[in-house]
Structure 1
Amino acid sequence: MISLRNLFLQHVAQTSETPIGLEVERAEGIYIFDHSGRGYLDLISGVSVSSIGHCNPMVVDAVRSQAEKYMHLMVYGEYIQAPQVEYAKELTNLLPSSLSQVYFVNSGSEANEGALKLAKRFTGRTELVGFVNAYHGSTHGALSMMGDEGFKNAFRPLLPDTRHLPFNDIESLNQITSRTAAVLVEPIQGEAGAIVPTHKFLVALRNKCTETGALLIFDEVQTGFGRTGSLFAFQKLGVVPDIFTIAKGMGGGMPIGAFVSSKEIMECLKSNPILGHITTFGGHPVSCAAALATLRVLVENSYIEEVDSKEILFREQLIHPLIKEIRGIGLLLAVELGDAAMVQKVIRACFDRGIILDWFLFCDTAFRIAPPLIITKEQIASVCKTILEALDEVNGQL
């Protein structure tokens, strides 16, 4: 009989020559269990998705309950569906008044696509500005805004009239002009290796967009839902965008995304043409029910408030000769080793010890720490001890 692993390699399209290949039986809390019952502590949360842990009971109950009532009914925006309405109301109640409407989609890439279309439609302009080493997704528009040429060149031609500026460079913001429809930026650059902007840069960016009439779009796909110690990073950083995009941690493990803006800006998708953005499965009621349960778990518990102290624990305990620096905010951290081969060895050594780590797309010299927010202080201490053991092993091989 052909093994599940061989069937996976034969019939599931692959994204690399060497997939991790963990054969998953179940997942719960901060652990993923393989077919033999061995638990692996998930220190990356499925890349910032499982922020309240795997199979959170409130999310599972919400999914089950909604699936018994109704699932897909009609393309997004036509029917009044309670999970969408309740979620949009509860989310926007937690936001500045200028961010009052939610357009539901399926993923972070699609959220960014919709946000870019919205900005072009509202401003009547064509130029889109992004930043070097930015990551916004893999669909054509999102890929056009990606700031790494190595991932883009094989798929050209991409969107015209785009430009990329150096991140954290205030002087370069003068290239934003009255031709610019939107500036798309991550409030913390994720795949660049958790690069944190200066407050001065973000304020200058906000001011330049206001001055030129360009819309400021924050990509909060990876930073949202408590990962940085506030519900959204822009709230902690003190700069409010015109539009922001969300996904990943939004659905508690279910696929969902959205772009959020003002009623005035969103109105332009209703006419000239009507159906200015269309999605069949966006705002799927089961995913919205899961997202609502996730939001309530975050709001009703102290997980977000504990993020800052948990960040400190990682920084205090991960001290080793191989570690050059730790970047990031909250529980989105990059542990810089300065050597890509060494990072892969550490990831492998940690995996063998039952800890799942990952590297960054545009920074292969650092490994990612982005655990579920529910991780305890005792678990952090245990994890750090194991990572230090793995670093010692790799150091001994040098």
Structure 2
Amino acid sequence: MASTKQLFFANLAQTTDFPLALEMEKAEGCTIWDVNGKPYIDLISGISVSNIGHRHPDVVDAIIKQVNKHMHLLVYGEFIQSPQAELAHALTEALGYDLDNVFLVNSGSEAIEGAMKLAKRFTGKRKLVAFNKAYHGSTQGALSIIGDEEFRRGYRPLLPGIVHLEFNDVNEFDHIDSNTAAVIVETVQGEAGYIPPHPGYLAALREKCDEVGALLIFDEIQAGFGRTGSLFAFQRENVRPDIVTLAKGMGGGMPIGAFVSRKEIMDALKENPILGHITTFGGHPVSSAAALASLKVIRDGELWKNALEGEKRFRKLLVHDLIREVRGMGYMLAIQLDTFERVQKVIEYCLEKGVITDWFLFNETALRIAPPLTLSNEEIDRSCKIILEGIEKTRN
């Protein structure tokens, strides 16, 4: 009989010719164990997903309770299901800024697709403004607005009417005009290597959108749910978006996403035509129950404060002459090195020593640090020691 590893390579579609191919057995808190019992400190949270750690008991309990009631019943939006309704209410309370209508979907890419459609439908305009080195997903619409031509080139033609600007450059705002349906921006650029907005930049975007009648869409898919030192990154800037997209850390490890807006905007999807945006599994009751439990854990424990304190500890410890910069916000940190070869060697060393880190799609010369918000000081100290050893060994 074929081994699991053989089945993985024979039957699962691969995204590269060089997957990590670690065969994992279980996970708990900030640790993942492979089939040989070797533990790994997870410094990337499944790419900003496991914000409260793996298999948090409150999330596991919520999942079990919901499974014992029901799972999928009907396509999204037809039956009244308490996990969906309670989650939507909790999200609107957490987001504030009159963002009172939630459309639940399955993933971040789907949240982006829905937000793009909503902006076009509500404004009647077709132009969308996005940013270079931005990442919003891999579906055709989301791919049209990501900010890297190497990723777009092989799939053209994509959506027309897309303009890409340089992030943090207010001198390019003239491209945001009266034909613009929406400006879509990550509140912290993720795959560019964790680039925060300059102070006042998001506020300037808000002002420009108001001036020309465009909607402002904040992509909080990677930055949200406590990762940047506030519940949502845009709340640090005190800037009101028209639409917010959510996913990743939303589900406590379960697949779920959402786009959120004001009712007057969201209602545009109900007519001309009706069912203007639909999904079969969006807001799956089990995922919704998990997301509600996860949000409660984050809010009750004010876990975003852990990201702020942990950031200080990482910055204090990650000092080395080969580190050009430690950049980012909260638990969205990038260790900037000089070459991909050096990054690759450090990642390999860390894996050998039981620490999982990664690079970035649009910045291959930096290491990703995005651990669960529950990471302990001891785990930080051990991780930094191993990272620094790995960097030092690249001198050879």
1:173 is matched with which residue? 173
Correspondence 1:118-197 to 2 at 5 A:
118-197=118-197
Distance 2:304 2:192 in 1: 24
Displacement of 1:203 after TM fit?
1.5
SS in 2 for 1:305: helix
Distance 1:204 1:90 in 2: 29
Distance 2:351 2:153 in 1: 32
Distance 2:204 2:97 in 1: 22
SS in 2 for 1:65: helix
SS in 1 for 2:104: strand
Distance 1:138 1:98 in 2: 30
Deviations 1:136-173 (A, max 9, x none): 00000000000000001000000001110111110101
> 1:117 aligned to 2:144?
no
SS in 1 for 2:304: coil
1:204 is matched with which residue? 204
Query: Which ranges in structure 1 are unaligned for 5 or more consecutive residues?
Result: none
Distance 1:341 1:378 in 2: 29
Runs of 4+ in 1 over 4 A off after TM superposition: none
Q: Do 2:41 and 2:379's aligned partners in 1 also have CA atoms closer than 8 Å?
A: no
Counterpart residue type for residue 241 of structure 1: P
> 1:107 aligned to 2:122?
no
Deviations 1:334-386 (A, max 9, x none): 10002111000000000000000000000000010000000012221121111
1:318 is matched with which residue? 318
Distance 1:107 1:335 in 2: 28
1:247 is matched with which residue? 247
Distance 1:386 1:171 in 2: 42
2:8 is matched with which residue? 8
Q: Do 2:95 and 2:232's aligned partners in 1 also have CA atoms closer than 8 Å?
A: no
> 1:394 aligned to 2:375?
no
Counterpart residue type for residue 346 of structure 1: V
Deviations 1:47-67 (A, max 9, x none): 000010011111011111101
> 1:77 aligned to 2:77?
yes
Deviations 1:104-133 (A, max 9, x none): 000000000000000000000000110000
Q: Do 2:63 and 2:287's aligned partners in 1 also have CA atoms closer than 8 Å?
A: yes
> 1:328 aligned to 2:328?
yes
2:43 is matched with which residue? 43
Distance 1:248 1:201 in 2: 25
SS in 1 for 2:181: strand
Query: Which ranges in structure 2 are unaligned for 5 or more consecutive residues?
Result: none
> 1:33 aligned to 2:33?
yes
Which region of structure 1 is more displaced relative to structure 2, 116-125 or 91-100? 91-100
- Between the aligned residues of both structures, percent identity stands at 59
SS in 2 for 1:163: strand
Deviations 1:168-226 (A, max 9, x none): 11010111011000110001100000011112322211100011110000010000000
1:278 is matched with which residue? 278
Counterpart residue type for residue 127 of structure 1: K
1:370 is matched with which residue? 370
Distance 1:364 1:106 in 2: 28
Distance 2:171 2:137 in 1: 27
Distance 1:172 1:325 in 2: 27
Q: Do 2:306 and 2:374's aligned partners in 1 also have CA atoms closer than 8 Å?
A: no
Deviations 1:254-301 (A, max 9, x none): 000000000110011111110110100000000000000000110111
Which region of structure 1 is more displaced relative to structure 2, 215-224 or 300-309? 300-309
Distance 1:16 1:6 in 2: 16
Displacement of 1:98 after TM fit?
1.8
Aligned residue pairs, count: 396
Q: Do 2:112 and 2:259's aligned partners in 1 also have CA atoms closer than 8 Å?
A: yes
Deviations 1:80-107 (A, max 9, x none): 0000111111121122242111100000
Distance 1:12 1:237 in 2: 42
Q: Do 2:195 and 2:327's aligned partners in 1 also have CA atoms closer than 8 Å?
A: yes
Counterpart residue type for residue 279 of structure 2: T
Distance 2:320 2:172 in 1: 37
SS in 1 for 2:368: strand
Counterpart residue type for residue 21 of structure 2: G
Distance 1:66 1:155 in 2: 40
Q: Do 2:62 and 2:290's aligned partners in 1 also have CA atoms closer than 8 Å?
A: yes
Distance 1:243 1:4 in 2: 42
Displacement of 1:394 after TM fit?
1.6
Distance 2:18 2:157 in 1: 28
Q: Do 2:97 and 2:240's aligned partners in 1 also have CA atoms closer than 8 Å?
A: no
Displacement of 1:7 after TM fit?
1.0
Distance 1:384 1:230 in 2: 24
